[in-house]
Amino acid sequence: MIICICRRLNEKKISEAIDAGAESAPAVMAHHQTRFNCGQCRHDIAEMISNSQDIETSTDIAAE
């Protein structure tokens, strides 16, 4: 599914950026050597980052 229509970034590309260490929506854009145009995707990207961090935290707790 396309998350950023302006830059043609789908969920997979955004996940790649997050997996590579992007911790903010602008960092996701920078990973793909671009930046926001309209900015409407910013919230969805931030939510994906937040969900990813929640998963990492719960995995850390489960490992302890």
Note the residues at the interface with ligand FES (CB under 6 A).
4-7, 36-41
Closest to ligand FES by CB, 43 or 50: 43
**Of the two residues 20 and 26, which places its CB atom closer to ligand FES in the complex?**
26
Contact 53, 24 (CB under 8 A): no
CB of 33 to ligand FES, least distance (A): 14
Q: Which is nearer to ligand FES, 37 or 57 (CB)?
A: 37
Please choose, from the candidates 14, 16, 20, 13, the residue with its C-alpha nearest in 3D space to the C-alpha of residue 46.
14
The CB density around residue 25, as the number of other CB atoms within 10 Å, is 22
